[in-house]
Structure 1
Amino acid sequence: MTAACGSGEPAGAGEQVTPIRRAPTPDNEFKPVELEATVDRLVTEINASASRPMQMAIVLKNAAGFWAPVVTAANRALGELGVIGNVLGPVASSEDGPGSDELQNQQIEQAVADGAEVLGLAPFNDIQTAAIDEAVAQGVDVVTLDTDVAASKRSIYVGTLNRSAGATAGRTLLAMLPPPPGTVIIHGSIDTAGTSGLERTQGAQEVLQQAGYEVQMRQSNWNDTGETDDVDGMQALLEAADPPAVGMIGLFNISYRCAMAAEAAGKPDLPIVAFDFDPKTVDYLRQGRIKATHIQRQYYQGYLVPYILYGIKNLGLDATKKILAPQMVDGSQVNTGLDVVQADKIDAYNDFLGSIDANQ
């Protein structure tokens, strides 16, 4: 998928372009006021500078489902900025050909060859390190989103801070649990090759263990047979838990499988909290089977990245970081935070997503 946005005739270098005017975000209890204020400060500083047009590319892992709001937001930001830019989704891989991560490396190389001066990237994993560093070596500033490649020469990461997010989800579940002893099943990741999922899982695990609960882990499975394997595996953990299971927590967009496993184990009333806003997760929220979910604000990740790239190129990296300071962690990570959505707030949250065209 390629969604193109562009400006009209480019102005000369250093020439002041038409001031940026953001589309207003309607007021809602879920509106991230601090993030909105940060973007407004960035816009103010950009409008006060001698801006210049540029070409940018936003390369994503996908363009549908979880990623649809990212595409919408990135295209909106590109249009408001008036830059020449593309939002690039995945290139289809074949069974005998290179994998999606290798194909993404080719996309990065091609975007740079096509003239991109700045690059937003949602990398698959550390296999993108060399491609990022090569782009930077050619003078292209890179900002990552959703998944970080901290060992690379990217300028800034924008997204969820995974250990903190896992801890938040753990605390959400804690408020629903009886006092220990008890076992909590975590549907997360122990795969050291995927640091984001591992950190999120560790964050939840630490909170629950420190509160005195036993924790049993189930590695999430995204393969074709993953749903059956996950449900069967978690059912077995629930039935064998000693002390008995008192709650479950899912840390990815397939969190709804926790509710399926609890039903299969004859424990339909077990407290469950989830991640993301998959339609199946929403169905279980409406039924009261999942008590709360945690949304990663992927719309704001997609929206912020073009603005940050534009700021880096026009204001400089240090000046841009100073503007982003309220959301900055460790000098190079922008924390977009989480929306904690209780089951009785589903309609209000859907209304907010609809108001910014961010429905999945």
Structure 2
Amino acid sequence: MSMGRLSRVAYVCGALCFVVSCSLAIFWGYKVFVHKPSMEKMDQAKYKYHFVLVPEEMDNEYWRLVGKGAQAAAKQNGVLLEYVGPKQANFDVHLKTIEMSAASKVDGIMTQGLSDEQFTPLINRVVEKGIPVITVDTDTVNSKRLAYIGTDNYYSGVLAGKALIADTKGHANVAIITGSFYKNHQQQRVKGFEDAVKSENGIHIIDVEESEISRVRASEKAFQILQNHPEVNAFFGTSALDGVGIAQVVEQYKKTGQVYIIGFDTLPDTVNYIRNGTIQATVVQEPYQMGYEAVKLMIDLVEGRKVPSIVHTDTRIMRAKDLPLTRKNIGEGSK
């Protein structure tokens, strides 16, 4: 085959690869960002404002509750709200969603704060363009975000530590499984817990491991800890999936009632494990309240009213004796 023909074949193959790559990129973008055409084409004249809520991951029961609260407030106040972002936690997609929203000149952006050097400059640029940003669930205190609404994560860790002290009568060898070593809200929960128990001579923190906010990974870490540290008789899981992952391993080891577990949030599996005695307690947040109040805060900002820079939503401990609370009370909180 001549060199000229080889060049033409290479050119055609390259062009085909380019077309396929572009098609896959477009398809990926559509699947990931989940922008609903009906929302984009909707006549916005009947809405006062257009807000965007960017969750850590859309396919997450906790964030769906945040979105549900935000949608309720939006509906009551004539706001067009888009709940859009990565289907599963993905830092780059999260940033891209915020960039796309800002480019669309929405009236306000609500997003989980991310602990990364790329996140703060992006939020600062968005705010400098005149688009207000509120962080929800996790704050980014060094950014120019205009308000934060969500759990006081340090305090929630303190609550968990105090609950463990009370329930174990101040004697426990504890392992902590945290969703992330790098995310600010997870760090704060661990720090609050450590500070709460550090003065207790009978409580020892044996190990701290990372689950990467994965139930499977939390189970793997719990199994590893029990293998390497048989003296461990208590666990604290700092993300919603950690407690469930730990509980699965404790049941597998047939150590229910011998190993104390305190988790986070009220996923149905967590509640079931509390009911059957595998998990003894969990920290209850108010995701519905976060979403609902975030929209109200954003309206106040857009309309020029002064708002507090930090609004902490309710946090409490739930044990088996508290289970008569309805799912609405647990999931939605006060409005």
TM-score range, shorter chain: 0.7 to 0.9
Residue number in structure 2 paired with 1:188: 178
Residue number in structure 2 paired with 1:339: 316
Matched, 1:58 2:47: no
Change (3 A) 1:145 1:179: closer
Shift of 1:259: 2.5
Alignment of 1:53-202 (within 5 A): 53-63=48-58, 64-90=60-86, 100-126=90-116, 127-180=118-171, 182-188=172-178, 191=181, 193-202=182-191
Residues 219-266 of structure 1: CA deviation (Å, up to 9, x unaligned): 132358514422322312541x3xxx4432222112123333434555
Distance, in Å, in 1 between the alignment partners of 2:284 and 2:170 is 27
Distance, in Å, in 2 between the alignment partners of 1:355 and 1:120 is 19
Specify the code of the residue in structure 1 equivalent to 2:96: Q
Distance, in Å, in 1 between the alignment partners of 2:167 and 2:215 is 33
Residue number in structure 1 paired with 2:289: 300
Alignment of 1:263-282 (within 5 A): 263-269=251-257, 270-282=259-271
Change (3 A) 1:353 1:198: closer
Q: Is the 8 A contact 2:46 2:78 kept in 1?
A: no
Shift of 1:7: 8.6
Q: Is the 8 A contact 1:60 1:123 kept in 2?
A: no
Distance, in Å, in 2 between the alignment partners of 1:350 and 1:263 is 25
235, 240, 243: which is aligned to 2:226?
A: 235
Specify the code of the residue in structure 1 equivalent to 2:136: L
Deviates more, 1:135-144 or 1:223-232: 223-232
Bigger proportion of residues as helix:
2
Specify the code of the residue in structure 2 equivalent to 1:306: V
Change (3 A) 1:342 1:76: same
Specify the code of the residue in structure 1 equivalent to 2:68: T
Q: Is the 8 A contact 2:105 2:131 kept in 1?
A: no
Residues 191-231 of structure 1: CA deviation (Å, up to 9, x unaligned): 2x222211111111121221221112331323585144223
Distance, in Å, in 1 between the alignment partners of 2:131 and 2:274 is 43
The unaligned stretches of length 5 or more in structure 1 are: 12-52, 93-98, 322-331
Q: Is the 8 A contact 2:161 2:194 kept in 1?
A: yes
Identity of aligned residues (%): 22
Residues 79-135 of structure 1: CA deviation (Å, up to 9, x unaligned): 11102332213267xxxxxx8212222211221221212111124432321221111
188, 195, 202: which is aligned to 1:206?
A: 195
Residues 146-199 of structure 1: CA deviation (Å, up to 9, x unaligned): 12111111011111111111000111111111344x4122222672x2222111
Distance, in Å, in 1 between the alignment partners of 2:240 and 2:179 is 13
Distance, in Å, in 2 between the alignment partners of 1:268 and 1:262 is 6
Shift of 1:347: 3.9
SS for the counterpart of 1:147 is coil
Change (3 A) 1:149 1:271: same
Specify the code of the residue in structure 1 equivalent to 2:239: F
Q: Which structure has the larger Rg?
A: 2
The unaligned stretches of length 5 or more in structure 2 are: 1-33
SS for the counterpart of 1:175 is helix
SS for the counterpart of 1:280 is helix
Q: Is the 8 A contact 1:160 1:337 kept in 2?
A: yes
Specify the code of the residue in structure 2 equivalent to 1:307: K
Residue number in structure 2 paired with 1:23: none
Change (3 A) 1:355 1:231: closer
Task: State TM-score, norm by structure 2.
Answer: 0.78
